[in-house]
Amino acid sequence: MGLFDTIYCEHPLPDARHQDLDFQTKDLECSLSTYTITQDGRLLRHARGGKRGLDRDIEWPLHGDLTFYTSIKISGESVWVEYVARFTHGLVEWIRPKEEVPPDPDIPPPELDWDLLTELLQNHRRKMKPADVKAGTGAANGPEESLLLSLRRDRHELERLLESCDGHWGYEDPIYRFYHQSFKVYGLQQQTRSIVEKLQALAPDLPLNPWFAQIVELGTGKTFKIEDNERWTEVTRPILEAFFHARFFLEMAVRYADLQAPPQPLPSGYAALLYLFGIR
C-alpha cells in the first residue's frame, strides 16, 4: 500500500453520512501528513501531530483533481468510498463521487499553485508578532535553523527510537528473519514507518527527499503471501532497504542533535540530513 496522506473533509460531501470519516490520498506528497478540506473549500496542511490541538496550519493551494478514499463497514461488509475534489487555484469547485466523474485525459494531477502559496506564506509572516521575529522563531527561521531547533527539542525521543532499532527485537532478530526466510521479517515495516513519522515531524512543512520516499514506499505496505516464498529476496529485500535508509537518517539525527549552529565544514551525515529535507 505504501505511504499516503490523511484527509479530513469539512466541506459538504454529496453523502452526509461520510462527512466525519478519515480519508486517505496518494495525490499529495505521501509523507504521512494530515490535511483538511475546509468548509469554505480551502486545503489546509496541518503541523505534525494530528488534526486537533495544533498551533499553526498552512494553506496548501492546489490546482487540479484530488482523489481521496476510505472503506466503511455496512452490515458487516466492507464498502469502498471514493471522492474527487476539483480545486481551481486553491479553492474547491466541486466534490463528486469517483464513479460520477467522467475520465478526462486532459485533467492533470493536482499541483501546488506556487504563486498563491508564496503570497500566503508572505502574508503569514507579516502577521507575526515583532517579538517572534526578533527571537528567531516561526517563519523567521530558515529551514536549516528550524531543523536544528527540532533536533535539539526531540533529542531524547530520537535517542529512544534509535535504541529500540538497535536492540535484539528491533534490529538483530528481524534481519535474522530475512536470512531464515521467515514471514516475521515483514514486521520490520512498522519500525520503518515509526522512524519516517518521527523524521517528518522534525520538519513537517518540508517534503522528504523523493528518492527516500520512493525507497520507503517500495519497502512498506507489504503483506506476506505464501507465493512470496518463491521469490523471497525480490519481495523482502526492499523491506530491509527501506529500514536501513530510515535507520541511517535516524542515527544521523541523533548524532547531530547537539549542534547549536550549522557546522563548517559539513560532516557527511549532517549533509545527508539536509538532503533528506530538501535543504541542500
What are the domain boundaries of the chain?
Answer: 5-140, 143-276
In this prediction the pTM is: 0.53
| pLDDT of 106 higher than 60 | no
CA 167/CA 124 separation, integer angstroms: 44
Torsions phi, psi for 63 (to 5 deg): -140, 110
Q: Which residues, in sequence order, are CB contacts of 203 under 8 Å at separation 6+?
A: 143, 146, 147, 150, 277
pLDDT attached to residue 33: 87
pLDDT attached to residue 54: 42
Residue 135: pLDDT band (50, 70, 90) is very low
pLDDT attached to residue 49: 52
pLDDT attached to residue 31: 81
pLDDT attached to residue 110: 78
Q: Which residues, in sequence order, are CB contacts of 150 under 8 Å at separation 6+?
A: 201, 202, 203
pLDDT attached to residue 53: 39
Span 199-213, pLDDT tens digits = 999 999 899 999 999
Comparing 70-74, 124-128, 202-206, 269-273, the range with the smallest average pLDDT is: 124-128
Query: With left for phi above 0 and alpha for psi between -120 and 50, is residue 30 left, alpha or beta?
Result: left
DSSP helix/strand/coil, 4: coil
| pLDDT of 250 higher than 60 | yes
Instruction: Return the residue matching grid coordinates 506556487.
Output: 114
Which is higher by pLDDT, 141 or 239?
239
| pLDDT of 95 higher than 90 | yes
| pLDDT of 113 higher than 80 | no
Angle between helices 210-218 and 232-255 (to 10 degrees): 140
Burial 175-211 (b: 16+ CB within 10 A, else e): eebbeeeeeebbbbbebbbbbbebbbebbbbbebbee
Q: In angstroms, how far is CA 261 from the centroid of its own chain?
A: 26
CA 154/CA 249 separation, integer angstroms: 14
| pLDDT of 249 higher than 90 | yes
Instruction: Return the residue matching grid coordinates 469539512.
Output: 10
pLDDT attached to residue 123: 62
pLDDT attached to residue 263: 87
Which is higher by pLDDT, 52 or 249?
249
| CB of 5 closer than 8 Å to CB of 66 | no
- Residue 12 identity (one-letter amino acid): P
Residue 116: exposure state from Cβ atoms within 10 A (0-12, 13-18, ≥19): middle
pLDDT attached to residue 107: 61
End-to-end CA, the chain: 30
